[in-house]
């Protein structure tokens, strides 16, 4: 069985652990040109009343490196 190529794709899921308005509504991982990124989205409403999602993207490796440094 061949391994699936996840390059330039991703998936997002509902955040079931949301406790505050500042926590994202949905999140997941996105791969862009071979690098993984965490992606989060908040459901918002524009001044005109139209729904939209506000996005945040962070390099996955950078976040993991900070976490491993804090462990020491």
**Looking at the 3D structure of the chain, how many domains does it have?**
1
Can you give the pTM of this predicted structure?
0.77
| Cα–Cα distance, 51 to 38 (Å, whole number) | 23
- CATH code where residue 53 lies: 3.10.450
Token readout for 40 is 């989060």
Contact 70, 46 (CB under 8 A): no
pLDDT single digits (tens) 37-72: 999 999 999 999 999 999 999 999 865 655 655 554
42 lies in some domain: yes
38 Cβ partners below 8 Å, 6+ apart?
27, 28, 29, 30, 57, 58, 60, 63
pLDDT of residue 63: 59
Q: Which domain holds residue 50?
A: 10-70
48 lies in some domain: yes
């Amino acid at each position: 069985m061949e391994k699936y190529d996840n390059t330039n794709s991703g998936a997002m899921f509902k955040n079931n652990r949301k406790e505050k308005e500042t926590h994202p509504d949905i999140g997941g991982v996105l791969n862009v040109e071979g690098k993984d990124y965490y992606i989060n989205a908040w459901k918002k409403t524009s001044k005109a009343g139209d729904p939209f999602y506000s996005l945040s993207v962070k390099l996955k490796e950078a976040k993991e490196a900070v976490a491993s440094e804090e462990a020491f």
